[in-house]
Amino acid sequence: MKTRARAVVLLAALFLTMVTACGDAGAVITRLAVGDPGPDAYTHVEGTDDAKISRLAAAGGDKEGDAPGLYGGTRKDKVCDKEALVRFLEGDEGKARAWAEAQGIAPDGIAAFVADLTPVLLRTDTLVTNHGYRAGKATKMNALLQAGIAVMVNAKGLPVVKCNCGNPLSAPDPDLPVHDSDYKGASWPQFSPDKVTVVRPTRQEIEELKLVDRDGRTAFDRPVGTEGDADGEPEPVPPAAASEPPTAPSGDDQGVSGPTDSATPTEAPPPADPTGTPTGVPPDDEDVTGIPTTTPEDAQGVTTTDPTGDPPGPDTAQPNEPPQTATPPDPPDPEPAPETPPDDPVPTTPSP
């Protein structure tokens, strides 16, 4: 009996271990970087996200949807096109039905639902449930949205639409382990499970959101349901909405859209002289070639030796050689001079 009881206990412990292991293995969170629509996108919209948004210093953990500085944006700037989303869904009955079901509304209520949303930019890496659409069927997955992604939030401050793809969003599973999950997908320099933020809806509907400008220097109020045209005046950033220090860009950064500012400017070459002679030639007393140079101001018609080593032109002297001149023809041979007779001719005398 004792042996049988011990075996039952061991089997139960093994079963619990297997269940726990399977649960851990199934906790997968897909990172979606700035500019990435992600899998199973309803559509694809360019130019909504902002990789250079100032990130919230107090990131991580649970945040109420109306927390000051939780979201950002640019005053008077429209980051998401609500009307275009409605037109798109009205043109595809299947997607409209799946989209409305994910939002818990009827398909004929999409226009009114979207009209009450507020476009903003995330200032934290935000955990959500991302609802997609593939092969005529709705899908969903755990997703971590990088700070800088544009979303639309409802009247309780909860992200409900991802602007660059139109996908519905909802709150993540409350039992999803943030630190023990397996993160997949492209990462970014600031990623850390400690900075993952979960937005909780407010108990009551709110009238406005306090946003922080993309550079983190000013704050402003945006009435719920507006797209930037009714933004309030700039004001100081509340301490709770302060930005974290920027991370130095590198060539290996992922999740960054658009050009970076890390390129080192190169010095332009010296401009060429109008005569065709390169500038920057050492002066006469510092000549490193041993060849005297003459500027156009000193003598017209004299060409400076080409420093590239190209063969000189017909009027250019070779280094260390006198200038070449035309060789004159040989003079004619001189005529022979006439013989000069002796002054005093000596008479010859016959021998005896």
Domain layout of the chain by residue ranges? 27-240
**52 within 8 A of 35, measured Cβ to Cβ:** no
Residue 137 phi, psi (nearest 5) = -130, 150
Half-sphere exposure of 157 (CA within 13 A, CB side): 27
The pLDDT of residue 326 is 47
Coil/strand/helix, residue 24 = helix
Q: pLDDT at position 120, please?
A: 97
So what's the pLDDT on residue 77? 84
Check residue 310 and give its pLDDT. 45
C-alpha–C-alpha distance, residues 237 and 252, integer Å = 32
The pLDDT assigned to 78 comes to: 83
Q: For 302-346, how does the pLDDT look when each residue is reduced to its tens digit (9 = 90+)? A: 333 343 444 444 444 444 444 444 455 555 555 554 444 444 444
- d(CA 218, CA 213) in angstroms, rounded, equals 6
* pTM reported for the whole predicted model: 0.66
pLDDT, one tens digit per residue, over 45-90 is 999 999 999 999 999 999 999 999 999 999 988 889 999 999 999 9
- The pLDDT value recorded for residue 58 is 97
pLDDT at 8 (0 to 100) = 47
Question: What b/e sequence results for 177-205 when a residue is b if at least 16 CB atoms lie within 10 Å of its CB, and e otherwise?
Answer: ebeebebebebbebbebebbbbbebbeee
Structure-block tokens of residue 3: 């042996």
Beta strands in the chain (DSSP E): 28-32, 61-64, 71-73, 118-122, 126-134, 137-145, 150-153, 159-162, 169-170, 182-184, 197-200, 208-213, 219-223
Q: Which alpha helices (DSSP H) does 211-349 contain, by range?
A: none
Report yes or no: 99 and 109 within 8 Å, Cβ to Cβ.
no
Q: Which amino acid is at 194?
A: D
| Token representation of residue 175 | 């039992």
Residue 271: exposed, middle, or buried by beta-carbon count in 10 A (0-12, 13-18, 19+)? exposed
How far is residue 315's CA from residue 152's CA, in Å, rounded to a whole number? 76
The segments of the chain whose pLDDT lies below 50 read 1, 8-9, 14, 16-24, 250-326, 337-352
